[in-house]
Amino acid sequence: MCGIVGYVGHRDALPLLLNSLERVTYRGYDSFGVALLNGQGIEVYKSVGTVEECRAQVPPLQGTLAIGHTRWSTVGKVSVDNAHPHLDCSGEVAIVHNGDIDNFSYLRQRLQDQGHSFRSETDSEVIAHLIEAYSNGDIVDAVSRAMRELEGSFAIAVLHRPSRQIVAARRESPLVIGLGKGEAFIASDIPAILPYTNQVAFLEDGDLALVSEEGLRVWHDGREASRQVHQVSWSAEQMSKGGYDHFMLKEIYEQPQAIRDTVADYTEQSRGGPSLGCFLPVTDPDVVLLLGCGTSYHAALLGEQLLSRLLPGPVVARVASEFQAGSLRSDRGLAIAFSQSGETTDTITALRHVKSAGFSSLAVTNVMESSITRAVDATLYTRAGPEVAVASTKTFISQLVALYVLAYQLAPDRQAVEMIPRNLRALPGKVRQLLANVETIQQVARVLAEAPYMFVIAKGLDVPVALEGALKFKEVAYLHTEGYPAGELKHGPFALLQEETPVLAIVPADQHRARMLTTIREIKTRGSRVIAIAAQDDEEVAEFADSVLRIPKIDPLMSPVLNTVMVQLLSYYCALERGCPIDRPRNLAKSVTVP
């Protein structure tokens, strides 16, 4: 969940390093640091805070070989000493690390007994001293031997003064190498290096790499290996705010294009319907298991609701961090794992358990060549483009679109899903229509911003949307919000309803509508304030709710997409009213690569 960058080449490295670190700030932003190699040796600067906040204080360090890091603390408090890079005792090795070293206490004690002196509380510093302990003039060999002793996950970049080289290695944490003319780049994520190159190679689990001006050499299990170079289709311009106040708002407004691109990627032009035949490892599963964490778990929950209506066998969603296979076993089962980054450790771990139970597996992710794609039988890529804000918006919407494509492909009853292609093609226009009228949403958000807490309620397909909406209010607006199935209010939450307590009620245009209106009436008898989200032609709901937010008319099966956009906008404008750091919520990071 930390961000790593590195550079070797002919440019002045410091400005490049700082620019790259700013581009991976979403991976962690409680402290940062850089190490540059020059005639004075390895020079290090570290600071608490973000690069953006502290850039003016960074001294003009010189060098063309450098590594940098932005931290999200897991071991050791937020402090300059605990910030990366970390040095060995001699000052000849500097390292940056993303991950968790499980056996660091044992290694630290052993190294201290050998005379090594530690400056930080972190698990990461043991890596620098372990490499020093194995130093024999060959930095690649020293890093390789250190890797064999490390238990846990890591992505590391090692700057070595004597050889003037940078070595990178990874295990269960992502690392990408960018290649240019006479220069090379190291990063946790593609966005960090996108302004400088679109030619990238993805290191695989267990890889060790020597990164130099000449290019890239890779070893795996002691043998030299090659890694394919990919051309990234994203542009550097996509990584800018483009005139918007926040990345989150920009990414909300990019959702029509994200939907269009994801649909287009899986559309059979001859009949206009989505086609996934060449992607699905099993087309008639007897059981479907959906896995995810956070927002991706909410996509899995919606998948459970949707596919349960269409498939004859059981469909079950599980939060990946709590998943245990137990007695679960099926040779015709299909596990579908959702991960925006493709690097979510808990989801990848759950996949291993599922595969050992005989399931075929499919990943739904936004990042090509990510770790999850190597853990599954097939991958369905969403086409959301880069997402910078910590709170996921367009990647979640793209996951929902992918679910409808999957539903169309898997459903044995073609008549039950015949409306999906038509509605998928209409979705971008419907979302644009919603985004063009935000004045009422802004007014409602101003009211919500004054509340100490609130509820989001729904029924059926919209229950996952209520949970996702509650998460968004917590994430970006710091407003304690509970998402509930409407029928569960009497089982406890009613005790918290007071006069003026805001309740956001998603009113569907399906068989659940009458029950939702009854629930709204019951809430109003407690004096609470009800804001309804309803179809534009639902006039009756205005008789019961204090405010009504309208979504364009669409088939009820697809309305969760539009309802999601509505709660995204509400949470954004509520956060704006409350003065929250919308793109970088406290204590959170976008890519959760540690358990």
What would the DSSP string read from start to end of 298-317? HHHHHHHHHHHHH-SS-EEE
The span from the CA of 564 to the CA of 504, in Å, is 12
Q: How far is CA 301 from CA 154, 305, 323, 436, 529, in A?
A: 31, 6, 14, 29, 28
Identify the pLDDT of residue 593: 53
Percent of the chain predicted with pLDDT > 90: 75
Residue 293 CB neighbour total at 10 angstroms = 23
Q: Rounded to whole angstroms, how far apart are CA atoms 389 and 582?
A: 8
C-alpha 69/C-alpha 67 separation (Å) is: 7
pLDDT of residue 582: 96
Which amino acid, one-letter code, is at 443?
Q
Query: DSSP letters along 337-396, please?
Result: EEESSS--HHHHHHHHHHHHTT-EEEEEESSTT-GGGGSSSEEEE-------SSS-SHHH
Distance CA(398)–CA(340), nearest Å, equals 10
545 φ/ψ angles, rounded to the nearest 5 degrees: -90, 155
Q: How far apart are CA 140 and CA 127, in angstroms?
A: 14
Tokens 């139970």: give the residue: 357
Q: pLDDT above 70 covers what percent of the chain? A: 96
pLDDT at 349 over 70: yes
Closest CA to 494 of 461, 464, 527, 539: 527
Q: Write down the mean pLDDT value for the chain.
A: 92
Nearest to 249 by CA among 592, 575, 589: 575
DSSP-derived pairing of the beta strands 453-458 and 480-485: parallel
Peptide linkage before 60 cis (omega within 30 of 0): no
Contact 431/561 with Cβ under 8 angstroms?
Answer: yes
Residue 229's identity, in one-letter code, is: V
Q: Which residues of 148-179 are buried (b: 16+ CB within 10 A; e: fewer)?
A: ebbebbbbbbbbbbeeebbbbbbbbbbbbbbb
pLDDT digits 0-9 by tens, 32-89: 999 999 988 999 999 998 888 889 999 999 999 999 999 988 888 999 999 999 999 9
Q: Which of 14-18, 349-353, 495-499 has the lowest mean pLDDT?
A: 495-499
Residue 488 and residue 531: Cα distance in Å, rounded?
18
Count Cα neighbours of 378 within 13 Å in the Cβ-side half-sphere. Answer: 16
Residue 589 has pLDDT above 90, yes or no: no
Position 273 pLDDT exceeds 70: no
Nearest CA-CA partner of 369 in 204, 220, 527, 533: 204
Neighbours of 215 (CB within 10 A): 15
User: Please, which pLDDT band fits residue 594 given cuts at 50, 70 and 90?
Assistant: low
Strands 378-381 and 480-485: unpaired
Active site residues: 2, 590
Of 292, 275, 281, the C-alpha closest to 396 is: 292
Confidence of residue 270 (pLDDT cuts 50, 70, 90): very low
- pLDDT exceeds cutoff 70 at 525: yes
* Average pLDDT rounded to a whole number, residues 505-513: 95
* pLDDT tens column, 431-484: 999 999 999 999 999 999 999 999 999 999 999 999 999 999 999 999 999 999
The separation between CA 334 and the C-alpha centre of its own chain, rounded to angstroms, equals: 23
- What does the longest C-alpha to C-alpha distance in the chain come to? 79
Reported as a single tens digit per residue, the pLDDT across 303-334 is 999 999 999 999 999 999 999 877 788 889 99
Burial of residue 540 (CB within 10 Å: 0-12, 13-18, 19+) is exposed
From the number of C-beta atoms within 10 Å of its C-beta (0-12, 13-18, 19+), residue 221 rates as exposed
For residue 96, pLDDT beyond 60: yes
Contact 178, 199 (CB under 8 A): yes
**Structural domains of the chain, ranges and CATH numbers in brackets:** 3-237 (3.60.20.10), 243-432 (3.40.50.10490), 437-595 (3.40.50.10490)
Average pLDDT over residues 520-532: 92
Structure tokens that stand for 429 in this block: 């226009």
Q: Quick check: 592 pLDDT over 70?
A: no
| Predicted pLDDT of residue 334 | 96
Using only C-alpha atoms, the chain has a radius of gyration, in whole angstroms, of 25
With a cut of 60, say whether residue 220 has pLDDT above it: yes
- Residue 387: which of 375, 402, 373, 397 has the closest Cα? 397
Q: Which residue has the higher pLDDT, 37 or 232?
A: 37
Query: What 3-state class would DSSP assign to 34?
Result: strand
Lowest mean pLDDT among 129-133, 381-385, 587-591: 587-591
Length of the chain: 595
Cα 576 to Cα 103: distance, rounded to the nearest angstrom: 43
Q: What is the pLDDT of residue 391?
A: 94
List CB contacts of 495: < 8 A, sequence separation 6 or more: none
User: What are the tens digits of pLDDT across the range 368-414?
Assistant: 888 899 889 999 999 998 898 999 999 999 999 999 999 998 999 98
Number of other residues whose CB lies within 10 A of the CB of residue 239: 19
| Cβ neighbours for 194, distance < 8 A, ≥ 6 positions apart | 23, 232, 234, 235, 236, 239, 386
Look at residue 25 in the predicted model and tell me its pLDDT.
81
Is 561 a residue whose pLDDT tops 60?
Answer: yes
Asked if 483 contacts 456 with a C-beta cutoff of 8 angstroms, the reply is yes
Q: CA-to-CA distance for 400 and 187, rounded, in angstroms?
A: 29
pTM of the model: 0.86
Nearest to 455 by CA among 519, 515, 536: 519
* Residue 267: band (very low, low, confident or very high) from pLDDT cuts 50, 70, 90: low
